[in-house]
Amino acid sequence: MDAPPAQASGAPDLSGLHASSSSAGTVIQGASPAPATQPGPDTRADFVAASESTAAEAHAARDAGQEQRPPRDMPQYNTKHSEPPWSVLGRVIAARVRAWADRAGHRVAQRTLRIGVSARIFHPEPDGKGLRGKTLQYLEESISHWVMSRDVLVFMVPTVGKQGMLHASNIRLRDYAKHLDALVLQGGADVSPQSFAEPTTRPEWPGDRVRDMYELELLHEFIESGKPVLGVCRGCQLINVAFGGTLYQDIATDVPTALPHVNDEYDRLTHAIRFAEGASFSGMFGGRGEARVNSIHHQAVDRLGRDLVVEAVSADDGIVEAIRYQKAPFVVGVQWHPEFHRPHSDALLDCSPLLDHFLRAARETRF
């Protein structure tokens, strides 16, 4: 809406008042009405007499060719420069709009955050039992519970599209970006080498191209909407690919000197990481230089994508462990799984500050 018309000089300031309608007309709330007095018999007689006298004087002045002037005790109005009715009406409407916006802003500020989490995809197995030939989309329990630990709502974002769907829909991923406050890209299957334009080096590592395409579009929509994104493990790698970066398809093969980043211990395998000097992660975690995290990945960031900076690396072999996109308030990827770290643990990095910064960014950007 355009700004309300400027007030004429000398007109009362109604901008801070709220208007409400009644059967008798528009009532300006906030102004103190003058107390009504019931005139007595003498007062009424005096009023009638004064009115008749004023009328007689006015007729006499007009007949004499004199300028008619209002009586001294009556308020004088400059009718030539008084505001037209639509100017006053515009200010009343503007006041109502401001009041509505204030109430709406308060409701948004109080509303519980709604965080989307991308889906893991279990593709059909022709010989499998149970849901034979069906695709499953699901959340790993720990990631949803970790985000929910701050009393926010978590929603899984399913794949969308018309092609190949039994029940077509016009809902698109941009609709989720519009109605949710932030996005978590959870871990899971390998990123397909096709997604960063490289041939697959081993047939057993084809990755999940279907999930890549779905999550890359989802990531794009949230970034375009100015919403925060946190990528975990695979999600970190996908953020790098989204900005033109590449991945080591297998750390042990591509970086033989690297220490093991995955084995049968699963989330019990840990190693030290080192925060980049002056990086935001160092400040986020109290200025510390190193920490210990879990390690459950055999892919990793190789060539860094455009406008990304490295926030942390593996202390022993330099493998990238955290990245951040510089042109958004909060688009961050971590190679470890913070949802598997216990809060206030001395053994592993307490990732509560990471979650808190992510959710704070969600609150600050949802307006």
d(CA 1, CA 97): 9
Alpha carbon 100 to chain centroid, angstroms? 21
pTM of the predicted model over 0.75 = no
Q: What is the pLDDT of residue 125?
A: 78
Least Cα distance to 319 among 247, 264, 265 occurs for 247
Q: What is the pLDDT of residue 225?
A: 97
Cβ contact 333:250 at 8 Å:
no
Q: What are the residue numbers of the active site?
A: 233, 337, 339
Domains recognised in the chain with CATH numbers: 114-365 (3.40.50.880)
pLDDT tens, the chain, 367 aa long: 444 444 444 444 434 433 343 333 433 344 444 444 444 445 445 544 554 555 555 555 555 554 445 555 544 444 445 566 667 777 778 888 877 766 655 555 578 999 999 999 998 877 767 777 888 999 999 999 999 999 999 999 999 876 656 788 889 999 999 999 999 999 999 999 999 999 999 888 899 999 999 999 999 999 999 999 999 999 999 999 999 999 999 999 999 999 999 999 999 999 999 999 989 999 999 999 999 999 999 999 999 999 999 999 999 999 999 999 999 999 999 999 999 999 988 899 999 999 999 999 999 998 6
Q: What is the pLDDT of residue 127?
A: 75
Residue 310: strand pairing partners: 323
Q: What is the pLDDT of residue 286?
A: 92
Q: What is the pLDDT of residue 119?
A: 98
d(CA 298, CA 263): 9
